[in-house]
Amino acid sequence: MSHSLKFYIDGAWVEPSGTARLPVVDPCTEAPFAEVALGNAQDVERAVAAAKRAFVSFSRTQPDERIALVRRILDAYLERYDEMAATITREIGAPAKLSHAWQAGLGKRHLEEVLRTCETFEWQRKKGTTLINHEPVGVVALITPWNWPINQIVCKVAPAIAAGCTMVLKPSEVSPLNAVLFAQIIDAAGVPAGVFNLVNGDGPTVGAALCRHPDVDMVSFTGSTRAGIDIAKLAAPTVKRVHQELGGKSANILLDDADLEAAVTAGVNSCFGNSGQSCNAPTRMLVPAARHDEAVEIARRAAEAHRVGAADASDTTMGPVVSDVQYGRVQRLIGIGIEEGAQLVTGGLGRPEGLTRGYFVKPTVFANVNPSMTIAREEIFGPVLAIMPYRDEEEAIAIANDTPFGLAAYVQSADIARARQVAFRMRAGSVYLNYPAWDAGSPFGGYKQSGNGREYGEWGLEAFLEVKGIVGFGA
C-alpha cells in the first residue's frame, strides 16, 4: 500500500524520523505481505504540534462547516469502500463477507450516525440568564485496537471532527494499513492540514508519548484493561481527560422460557463472530441447570457447523485469530480450561483438521463451567464459549455480575417484560435483549474495569466537548 512507510502529519505524507519498520503479517498464512514505519517521540512531537496549530482556527469553525466536512469524508469513504474491506480481510484475516458487510460497514454507519446526531444536537442553550456552550476539548490522542479497526477509528475520528477537535491517531501496529487508507480518505475529503494526523507505532513508544504529552488534552483509548491502566497513569500528571473502552467477559443469560434451540445457536454464533475477537462477545452462556445437557448438545452442533479457513474462501465462516501472540494466548487458556476440569464439548487445542499453517483456532465449547474457573473470569479473545448452569433467576443474575468487567450483557426470554427487568439489574454498559439488530446510536462503553465514558451517537460527540457556562449572558 502506498504511504505505508510514511506518516500523515500537517496535511502531508512525511518521512518518519527514525528507521524502525514492522512487517504486517497475513494471519491466514503467517507470511508478511507489507511493512509499516514505526514512529518515535520525535514523530509524536511533530504531529501534536501540527494538531495544536490547527486547533486555533479549526476550533472556531461553525458546526455546519464541520458537518459538511464529515459528509465529504463519508463520500470519500464510500469511494474506497471495497478497498477498505479487502485491506481489513488481509491484515486481520476476517472472512471477506464479514469484512464487507461489517468491518468496513461499521465505518460507514458511524459516519452516518454522526451526521444524524449533529442534525439535532444542541450546541448552545440558555438556562435562565446563563448560556451553556459546548466547545471542543482540544488536541486529542486516539489509540485504537486491531480487532474492529476501522470501526474504532471512525467512531472516534468522526465525532472529534464534528466537535471541532484536532487529533493524532495511533492505530494498532498489528492492523495499521486500514488506518493508512483512512488517512488517504481524510486527505481526499479536504480535511484542513493538521486537523487529522497519523503516526504508526507501538504502545510503549508512540502511545506512551501521546498519553504523557502536555499539549494533548484528551486520550480516547480502546483496548485491554491492562493497557488502559497504564494509560491512566501516564495521563494523570497532566490531568487530561481519559476516555476508555476496555475488556469484557459478557454473560448471556438464557432464561427458562427462552427457545433453547434458537437462543443457544444464536449465542454460539455471536460468541464466535470475528473469530471471538470482540470485547463485547457473549462468552459466558448461562443456562438453566435442568436444561444444561440439552443446551450443550445444541451448542456442540452450532460450533461444529462453522467452517474455519482462509478469509477469501467462499464457505469460510470463521477466519484465524490475528497473530501468533493471540493464538498462543487462546491456546494457553483452552489448556487451562481443560486442566481446571471444565467439560470440553468440542474444539480444544491445536488447529482445525487440514489447516497446518495460519493462526486458526478450533471453535471451542466448554460445559459445566463454574464461576471460579479461569475461563469464566479472564477475557480469552478467541472462539471459546463457557456454558454455565444456574439454579434460578437470582443465581443467574449473581453469576452474570460476578466479574471485574461490565461492558455488555445479554438476556434471552420469550417474555420481553421479564427480560427488561433482568436487564435493569445487569451491571453493564450495554444490555442486548433477544439478539437485537446493532444500533449505531446506542451508547457503547462499560462499567467497572471495562472502562469509562461512552461512544456512539450523542455520547460519542459529547465525549469530545467541554461545557462552558457563561453566566449573565442574557442579563
- Active-site positions? 245, 279
List CB contacts of 413: < 8 A, sequence separation 6 or more: 255, 257, 258, 419, 422, 433, 434
Alpha helices (H) along 121-246: 149-163, 177-188, 208-212, 225-235
Angle formed at CA 381 by CA 380 and CA 382, multiple of 5 degrees: 95
List the grid coordinates of 167. 487529533
3-state secondary structure of 168: strand
Report the amino acid identity of residue 61. T
Report the amino acid identity of residue 361. V
Q: Is the Cβ–Cβ distance between 166 and 195 less than 8 Å? A: yes
DSSP string covering 358-396 = SS----EEEES--TTSHHHHS---SSEEEEEEESSHHHH
Residue with cell 417484560: 417
Task: Give, rounded to a whole angstrom, the gap between the first and last alpha carbons of the chain.
Answer: 58
Burial profile 199-213: b = 16 or more Cβ within 10 angstroms, e = fewer? bbbbbebbbbbbbbb
Q: Is the Cβ–Cβ distance between 409 and 251 less than 8 Å? A: yes
Across-strand partners of 466? 135
List the grid coordinates of 446. 462499560
Q: Are strands 465-470 and 130-136 parallel, antiparallel or unpaired?
A: antiparallel
List the grid coordinates of 132. 451553556
Express the helix, strand and coil content of the chain in percent, nearest 5 each.
45, 20, 35
SS3 per residue for 117-135: HHHHCCCEEEECCEEEEEE
